Structure 1
Amino acid sequence: MKSPLHDFLAPDSIAIVGASADPTKRGYKAMIGLIKDGYGGAIYPINPKTDMILGVKTCASLDAVPGPVDLALICTPASTVPGILAECGRKGVKGAIVLASGFKETGAEGAKLEQQVLDAARAGGVRVIGPNTSGMFNLHKKVNLLALANVKAGDIGFISQSGNMLLSLVLEAEHNGHVGFSTYVGPGNQTDIGFNDYLRYLGEDPQTKVATLYVEGFRDGQRFLEVAREISATKPVVVYKSGSTEQGQKAASSHTGSLAGSYAMTVDLLRQVGVSVVQHSNEILPVAEGLGLMQKAPGKRVAVIADGGGQATIASDRLAEAGLELAELSEHTRRRLGEILLPQASLVNPVDVAGSSDANPALLAECMEIVAEDDNVDSIFLVGMFGGYSIRFAEDLLGGEMRGAESMIELARRVDKAVVVYSLYAPIKPPALRRLHEAGLPVYTSIEHAVRVLAALGERGIYLKSRAVASHAPAVVPSEDMKAMFARAQNEGRDLFEFEAKTLLRAHGVDVAPEVIVRSADELPAVAAQFGEQALVMKVVSKDILHKSDAGGVKLNLRGEADLHQAFDSIMSSCRAYDPNADIRGALVTPMAKKGTEVIIGVSRDPIFGPVLMFGLGGIFVEILKDVAFRAIPLSQLDAESMVDQLKARKVLEGARGEPPADKAALVDLLLKVSGIVSAYPQISELDLNPVIAYPDGYAAVDARIIINRSVL
């Protein structure tokens, strides 16, 4: 169903509630923006104290407006907003922008007023942008309610919780000279309309080629991921998520009243659904522009054509840091390059033409055409001084540069590979570079920005290919016995015991070691006979003793009946001394796990994004390095595989220092099974498998903990 936001983000009539003749007021600036930009719809200034503002007749109230109103811009104080929204409802206004601050971002009283705003809007069927918003513009509709000057209409849609971030991008775009915007909205507190709603609108908007968002906090993360997955299939989505540090998260909360959430988790979940995440604010516009122009690259293999060894080296370093590969050029490609370049040229990627182009800059385009035909190449990156040859060497080289530019333009149109240009002359915009930019080739003043664009193009291309073949694992059918087990635990006011958690896992195909619950010492001879000479672990079973080791509730390396008796007596004695009132159900006995690589798998129900699965190396790695990957549940096969591949320390799993590699396929299968179990049992609030021991031929889930979601009966 088409987004209702089209009705008022591309309005045919606008009321300015609180319109003013005072040039310092927003009600004046909005009028100026509409009039100067030539807005063709009806403008209704609402002000009962004057008859005319900027030559436009005013109305005393919304009720007095002679025609329909698509959008109301409310420029009055926070306390007046509920009443004005009620008036909007009576008038049939479709959407309202509430500029005022003083709502939930200020505390309890502000939150109460914000609820009144929402109640009034819903009662009247009015959709609300804000409150606490900078406003909006739709430049193709000539709706400029921010009265910004020198903003070019273009194809980048921008939703930003920071008005200053918009101003920064507008100034950057003005300097760029080729970038323009379609629609901008400041969502503010997202009281009614959230990021997912705005993203759907941008996804449907024919004037928008790339949707770009500055986000401090999501209101409904699950819904946003659903919409992002849908929209990213047809057009690029770029997100800059602030709050990557504890200090940043606190600032985001005080700024918008939003819950910023875990930055690392949010980034992983966004990438899971095809979003291009930028980590630095000065990358937002370059990446948005590059994705809008090029859309995607087939992969991450880049061929570098450079006219200087130093910058070729810098480009190689930055490409490696960004997770891109220097393409391995074929022998045929190197031979063809050698036929047109000087003997001192380097024919191994990065290709350094070493002076070959000094008298003929169009030669760079010939090199680009040659490497573009190589099947090992996904993107072509021109690095150096193209565009400045006529400035640096001789004016009569301008013709060669222009011919080279035309060849590059034709190449980019002909091939499905990305063509990206960095030139040290880009800041002064010489003719050849202006021609490239005008024709739709991204030209950058920074190697770092160009590389980030190449990374985004490659990531998007790989995502789109993987999306075409991705499938989720078969759904897990919940067992009646397991549901009864959850019910018993909930009735007793506890979480699942470890043996119950393992029973659940085992019931759905997870490899869990055999175990026995011992309730009295009389049962130990049978246990000793069952396990023979295997090394065993014994752990206390009690809902009241969470940290078993602290209570003396764990004994290791037990062999035979005598060891078991001694361990059982010691555990019972220590745990009763630790907590005399503890409900002790006995002890769990299971074989000691063989040596292998420890990993951790955890699931939590995030308040913003819903059930999220975490995977990482266990032991000291997870605590010290925090080298973990996150994905929203349910996982696809590719999601699970990418979690394992994402770890910085994945070489440990691949077999470091002569150790055998872990069974990656088994770990992927385990991740998918855990995802299916959590999807099938809403009773699970948190799940923790720590450690899981990964072996060359499988794994063993050594410890399992499941916390019950008490809101689910």
Structure 2
Amino acid sequence: MQSIEGHLPSQSPLHAILAPSGIAVVGASSDPTKRGYKAMVGLIKGGYGGAIYPVNPKATSILGVNTFASISDVPGTPALALICTPAATVPDLIAECGRLGIKGAVVLASGFGETGEAGAALEARMMANARAHGVRIIGPNTSGLFNLHHRVNLLALDNLKTGDIGIVSQSGNMLLSLALEAQHNGQVGFSTYIGPGNQADIGFNDYLRYLGEDEHTRVATLYVEGFRDGRKFLEVAREVAAMKPVVVYKSGATEQGQKAASSHTGALAGSYQMTVDLLRQVGVSVVQYSDEILPVAEGLSRLQKAAGKRVAVIADGGGQATIAADRLAEAGLSLATLSGHTQARLEALLLPQASSVNPVDVAGSSDAQPSLLAQCMAVVAEDDNVDSIFLVGMFGGYSLRFDESLLEDEMRGADAMLALAHATSKPLVIYSLYAPVKPPPLRCLHEAGLPVYASIEHAVRVLVALGERGDYLARHASQQSAAPTPPSASGSALLANARAEGRDLLEFEAKALLAEHAIRVPDERLVTHLQALSEVAADFADRPLAMKVVSRDILHKSDAGGVKLNLVGDAALRDAYLTIVANAREYAPNAMIDGVLVTPMADKGVEVIVGMLRDPVFGPVLMFGLGGVFVEVLDDVAFRALPISRADAESMVNQIKAQKMLEGVRGAQAVSKPALVELLMQVSQLVDAYPSIRELDLNPVIAYPDHHPSGYAIVDARIIVERDQ
């Protein structure tokens, strides 16, 4: 079992609020159904050591604690106020808190920005008072918080185990679900919980920074419905994830992703997949299902990381070994290739019918000696080809399944596994079908900090998170973003002119801007009148040509009949020119037609897309995927927040699910991945140089093999310009 990397130096102002020296409960109540009563119970029953100040003008004491008629009557200065009163009372109460010097307030009430214009106005008034008086707001519309290491329990939840998993959840019911699951598990404990509510003041990035700094938190775990400032969250997550694991369950897609967009990139951005890609880019472990949250958090807390994604499976049953292998492959992990020396050592331990090839099936060898499984684990742990070890089967239940006399040997096996876990840096992940029964050997493992899972799928998800974390830490130690590139004078002039005219760049202008920044673009000619065609044909020496309409008013040229291909000779060029202009005028009678663009036909290759969009939540985002006219249908794309590192660019290219298309299929040659990586890096620099670029689409880009002189060909380029407000 591994030690945690560390935690951040303290900068967050939330420490004093979340570990308060005194708490005012505004709206404290004697009614057991009220939150003001439950908070009092949670503080008293939990053994909170600071001063408690119940505020209720109609009572003299609550649960034996003297009350105060108003906040102004509270003696001293509590660090935190819990406000349990209706929404309409909150703005004035916040001002009153500020006058007393209270620095933080938890606002439980709903009825603010989430309810419409009137609620938004009330929330704005609350925040104006908060800023005027220096009060930080948790909420409103929050489920509350607890900090178990400081015995602050404003939710009055029972049977919470103090531990090292910090939680921020926009769903109070999700917190309750995790708490109940932890009780059933018996070994998972929590440090801090915060319900961010509307995030009127304090947002996810602030809470994540606090958890990153908190010495009692080993894993930061977040349930997120929507980010207020996604760009800032990515910055903080990158910093925190370098120190300790961060687990996020993101529900649904961002609202911004449902908008209409004018490019392929815009149509695909804002999706759930984009959010997942950006979170993983900064080292966050993203779980897909809610029942994975706690298993992954616990696994990362106890096991921290794996050096890679090569897994050795040791099983006492062929069926479950096969299931484990299937799940590992589906998750992108690989079965480690065991060395000949390792296989020989296993064969010396096991019966002849056992398999020493990964997955290792002991085939009855452990029936009379369950501790043999621990010996097998120790053998494969010494293999340099193995990054993590996955024990699958019935360990812990041999004495229940066969004979109670086996319990002693199982306990020896458990002790040996714990010794191995402390001796090796390779994580040991254990699935047992007896986990729900919690027999003594499994309790021994779990209580000593080695988690045991009742689901192969959960265990595999933990293995994925461990591998991803190890990969991120290795990349983080060396990754550098592309060096900034200054804008060129001509490039700035192109964009400034387009903005002044209220339009986007025309295709030839977009390609000129790319060329300014050393991005290879094909040779082409803008033809504005019929008579120039013969000169163009001569320039390209009878090579097959492509012709496209150039118009600021026609975005989708093919839809307008504005594209003709494989043109050879003057007559073909003339007919294509006349047809394209006629089609364009019929498609958009009022369109301004600037001419046609003529270029040699690109060599055949694999069509990909490179795009960029300035997302309203996450800022500039780069996209790469399979391209052409079916890009939005295939939806095989990868996203990264800009600027990117070379490792980011490489991971984008390798993330595409249809890798066979890039690596060569049906006799085709593999494309040059280094050329695509270089293109992604150049686009990142270009976008950084020109903030007025709102969207960019290079689609299709024809990717070629390594020996091709160009590496790729940008067939079409679209750059959408930010409009002046």
Query: Shorter-chain-normalised TM-score: which range?
Result: over 0.9
Partner of 2:712: 699
The equivalent position to 2:460 in structure 1, one of 451, 468, 473, is 451
The equivalent position to 1:668 in structure 2, one of 651, 670, 677, is 677
Q: Which amino acid counterpart does residue 95 of structure 2 have in structure 1?
A: A
- Structure 1 residues 577 and 322, CA gap change in structure 2 (3 angstroms): closer
> Is 1:110 the counterpart of 2:119 in the alignment?
yes
Q: Per-residue CA shift, 1:231-258, capped at 9, x if unaligned?
A: 00010000000015999999xxxxxxxx
Partner of 1:348: 357
- Structure 1 residues 490 and 621, CA gap change in structure 2 (3 angstroms): closer
> Is 1:437 the counterpart of 2:446 in the alignment?
yes
Residue 549 of structure 1 aligns to a residue in which SS?
coil
Give how far 1:564 is off. 2.4
Query: Does the 8 Å contact 1:379/1:419 carry over to 2?
Result: yes
Partner of 1:253: none
Q: Using the alignment, how far apart are the partners of 1:355 and 1:537 within structure 2? A: 69
Q: Per-residue CA shift, 1:283-325, capped at 9, x if unaligned?
A: 0000000000000011111111111111111111111111111
Partner of 2:45: 36
Q: Per-residue CA shift, 1:576-614, capped at 9, x if unaligned?
A: 344343222222111111111101111111110001111
Partner of 1:254: none
The equivalent position to 1:370 in structure 2, one of 379, 382, 397, is 379
The equivalent position to 1:153 in structure 2, one of 159, 162, 173, is 162
Partner of 1:488: 497
Query: Does the 8 Å contact 1:554/1:571 carry over to 2?
Result: yes
> Is 1:185 the counterpart of 2:198 in the alignment?
no
- Equivalent positions of 1:462-481 (< 5 A) are 462-481=471-490
Q: Which amino acid counterpart does residue 396 of structure 2 have in structure 1?
A: G
Partner of 1:708: 721
Partner of 2:690: 681
- The size of the alignment, in residue pairs, is 703
Q: Using the alignment, how far apart are the partners of 2:668 and 2:533 within structure 1? A: 37
- Structure 1 residues 249 and 312, CA gap change in structure 2 (3 angstroms): farther
Residue 214 of structure 1 aligns to a residue in which SS?
strand
Q: Using the alignment, how far apart are the partners of 2:620 and 2:258 within structure 1? A: 21
- Structure 1 residues 620 and 349, CA gap change in structure 2 (3 angstroms): farther
Give how far 1:549 is off. 2.9
Residue 140 of structure 1 aligns to a residue in which SS?
helix
Partner of 1:83: 92
Q: Using the alignment, how far apart are the partners of 1:249 and 1:282 within structure 2? A: 27
The equivalent position to 2:59 in structure 1, one of 39, 50, 68, is 50
Q: Using the alignment, how far apart are the partners of 1:231 and 1:374 within structure 2? A: 32
Give how far 1:212 is off. 0.2
> Is 1:568 the counterpart of 2:568 in the alignment?
no
Q: Using the alignment, how far apart are the partners of 2:301 and 2:623 within structure 1? A: 32
Q: Per-residue CA shift, 1:217-237, capped at 9, x if unaligned?
A: 000000000000000001000
- Structure 1 residues 619 and 552, CA gap change in structure 2 (3 angstroms): closer
Query: Does the 8 Å contact 1:214/1:241 carry over to 2?
Result: yes
Partner of 2:29: 20
- Structure 1 residues 63 and 261, CA gap change in structure 2 (3 angstroms): farther
Residue 308 of structure 2 aligns to a residue in which SS?
coil
- Structure 1 residues 525 and 573, CA gap change in structure 2 (3 angstroms): same
Give the stretch that moved more between structures: 232-241 or 307-316: 307-316
Residue 303 of structure 1 aligns to a residue in which SS?
strand
Query: Does the 8 Å contact 2:396/2:439 carry over to 1?
Result: yes
Query: Does the 8 Å contact 1:387/1:432 carry over to 2?
Result: yes
Partner of 2:553: 544
The equivalent position to 1:616 in structure 2, one of 608, 612, 625, is 625
Partner of 2:7: none
Q: Using the alignment, how far apart are the partners of 1:399 and 1:302 within structure 2? A: 29
Q: Using the alignment, how far apart are the partners of 1:406 and 1:226 within structure 2? A: 42
Partner of 1:63: 72
Q: Which amino acid counterpart does residue 701 of structure 1 have in structure 2?
A: I
Query: Does the 8 Å contact 1:209/1:236 carry over to 2?
Result: yes
Unaligned runs of 5+ in 2: 1-9, 260-268
- Equivalent positions of 1:14-413 (< 5 A) are 14-243=23-252, 261-413=270-422
Q: Which amino acid counterpart does residue 31 of structure 2 have in structure 1?
A: D
Give how far 1:551 is off. 3.2
Give how far 1:476 is off. 1.8
Q: Using the alignment, how far apart are the partners of 2:555 and 2:361 within structure 1? A: 63
Partner of 2:431: 422
- Structure 1 residues 575 and 354, CA gap change in structure 2 (3 angstroms): closer
Query: Does the 8 Å contact 2:626/2:634 carry over to 1?
Result: no
Query: Does the 8 Å contact 2:257/2:271 carry over to 1?
Result: no
Q: Which amino acid counterpart does residue 318 of structure 1 have in structure 2?
A: R
Query: Does the 8 Å contact 1:326/1:349 carry over to 2?
Result: yes
Residue 73 of structure 1 aligns to a residue in which SS?
strand
Query: Does the 8 Å contact 1:242/1:248 carry over to 2?
Result: no
Give the stretch that moved more between structures: 434-443 or 573-582: 573-582
Query: Does the 8 Å contact 1:243/1:249 carry over to 2?
Result: no
> Is 1:501 the counterpart of 2:514 in the alignment?
no
Q: Which amino acid counterpart does residue 186 of structure 2 have in structure 1?
A: G
Q: Using the alignment, how far apart are the partners of 1:574 and 1:365 within structure 2? A: 75
Q: Using the alignment, how far apart are the partners of 1:620 and 1:486 within structure 2? A: 27
Q: Using the alignment, how far apart are the partners of 1:147 and 1:40 within structure 2? A: 16
Residue 158 of structure 1 aligns to a residue in which SS?
strand
Q: Which amino acid counterpart does residue 285 of structure 1 have in structure 2?
A: L
Q: Per-residue CA shift, 1:383-406, capped at 9, x if unaligned?
A: 111111121222221111111111
Partner of 1:582: 591
Q: Per-residue CA shift, 1:486-544, capped at 9, x if unaligned?
A: 11111111110000000011111111101111122232232121111111122222212
Which structure has the higher relative contact order (CA within 8 Å, separation 6+)?
2
Q: Per-residue CA shift, 1:318-355, capped at 9, x if unaligned?
A: 11111111110000001001111111111111111111
Give how far 1:650 is off. 1.2
Q: Which amino acid counterpart does residue 639 of structure 1 have in structure 2?
A: D
- Structure 1 residues 535 and 399, CA gap change in structure 2 (3 angstroms): same
Residue 644 of structure 2 aligns to a residue in which SS?
coil
Q: Using the alignment, how far apart are the partners of 2:554 and 2:363 within structure 1? A: 71
Partner of 2:526: 517
- Structure 1 residues 347 and 621, CA gap change in structure 2 (3 angstroms): farther
- Structure 1 residues 306 and 621, CA gap change in structure 2 (3 angstroms): farther
Q: Which amino acid counterpart does residue 410 of structure 1 have in structure 2?
A: A
Q: Per-residue CA shift, 1:192-218, capped at 9, x if unaligned?
A: 110000000000000000000000000
- Structure 1 residues 246 and 7, CA gap change in structure 2 (3 angstroms): closer
Q: Using the alignment, how far apart are the partners of 1:685 and 1:145 within structure 2? A: 45
Query: Does the 8 Å contact 1:217/1:261 carry over to 2?
Result: no
> Is 1:5 the counterpart of 2:14 in the alignment?
yes
Residue 359 of structure 1 aligns to a residue in which SS?
coil
Q: Using the alignment, how far apart are the partners of 2:497 and 2:423 within structure 1? A: 66
Give the stretch that moved more between structures: 534-543 or 636-645: 534-543
Query: Does the 8 Å contact 2:163/2:190 carry over to 1?
Result: yes
Query: Does the 8 Å contact 1:603/1:688 carry over to 2?
Result: yes
